[in-house]
Structure 1
Amino acid sequence: MGCMEATSPARGGARGRNPRGQGERLRDEILGATLRLLDELADDQALSMRAVAREVGIAATSVYIHFADRDALVLAALERCHRDLRAAIDRAEAAEEGPVGKLRARVLLSGTWAHAHPGLYKVMHESTLNRRASMPFKRELADRTTRAVRRCMDAGLAPPDDPAAISFDLRAAVHGAVSMRLNLPDQPWPPLEQQVDRFLVKLAGVRLPAG
Structure 2
Amino acid sequence: MNAGHRRNRKGEGPRLRDDLLDAVTELLARSGDAGAVTIRAVAARAGVSPPAVYLHFPDRDSLLRTAIGRRFDEFSARLTAVTGGADPDADVLAAAHAYVAFGQAEPGTYRALFSTVDAGPGGLGLSDVDVHPGASALAQLVDLVTAALDARADRRDPWVVTVQLWTALHGLVDLSITKPEIPWPDPHIATDDLVHRLGLAPDLR
1:171 to partner: Cα distance: 0.3
1:165 aligns with 2:160: yes
Aligned with residue 201 of structure 1, among 176, 196, 200: 196
Question: Partner residue of 2:170?
Answer: 175
Determine if the alignment matches structure 1 residue 136 to structure 2 residue 126: no
1:35 aligned residue (25, 30, 39): 25
1:8 and 1:33 in contact (8 A); partners too: no
Q: What aligned pairs does 1:2-151 form with structure 2 within 5 A after superposition?
A: 17-18=12-13, 26-36=16-26, 38-39=28-29, 44-46=34-36, 49-50=39-40, 52-53=42-43, 58-94=48-84, 98-130=87-119, 132-133=123-124, 136-151=132-147
Q: Whose relative contact order is higher, 1 or 2, with alpha carbons under 8 Å and at least 6 apart? A: 2
Q: Could you tell me how far 1:68 is from its partner in structure 2?
A: 4.6
State the 1:73 CA deviation.
2.3
1:42 and 1:118 in contact (8 A); partners too: no
TM-score by length of 1: 0.73
The answer to whether the 8 Å contact 1:43/1:119 transfers is no
CA contact (8 A) 1:41 1:47 kept: no
* Structure 2 gap ranges (5+): 1-6
Q: Note if contact 2:29-2:109 (Cα within 8 Å) is conserved in structure 1.
A: yes
After superposing the two structures, state which structure 1 stretch, 138-147 or 65-74, moved more.
65-74
Q: C-alpha separation between the residues in 2 aligned to 1:48 and 1:137?
A: 19
Q: Which amino acid aligns with 1:150?
A: T
The amino acid across from 1:162 in the alignment is D
CA RMSD between the two structures? 3.1
Q: How far apart, CA to CA, are the structure 2 residues paired with 1:147 and 1:164? A: 9
Counterpart CA distance in 2 for 1:147 and 1:81 is: 20
1:42 touches 1:119 (CA, 8 Å); kept in 2? no
Deviation at 1:8, TM superposition (A): 7.5
Helix, strand or coil for the counterpart of 1:130? Answer: coil
- Residue 137 of structure 1: CA displacement? 2.2
CA contact (8 A) 1:48 1:70 kept: yes
- Say whether the 8 Å CA contact 1:123–1:129 is kept in structure 2: no
* 1:155-177 alpha-carbon deviations (Å, 9 max, x no partner): 22x73321121111100111112
* Conserved? CA contact 2:40–2:50, under 8 Å: yes
1:189 and 1:106 mapped to 2: Cα distance?
21
Q: Find the counterpart in structure 2 of residue 152 from structure 1.
A: 148
3-state SS of 2:75 partner: helix
Task: Say which is worse superposed, 69-78 or 169-178, in terms of deviation.
Answer: 69-78
Cross-structure match for 1:4: none
Instruction: Please identify, of 123-132 and 159-168, the stretch whose mean Cα deviation from structure 2 is larger.
Output: 123-132
Partners of 2:60 and 2:79 lie apart in 1 by 28
Q: Which amino acid aligns with 1:172?
A: T
C-alpha contact (below 8 Å) 2:43/2:50 kept by paired residues: yes
What is the CA–CA distance in structure 2 between the aligned matches of 1:88 and 1:183, rounded to whole Å?
23
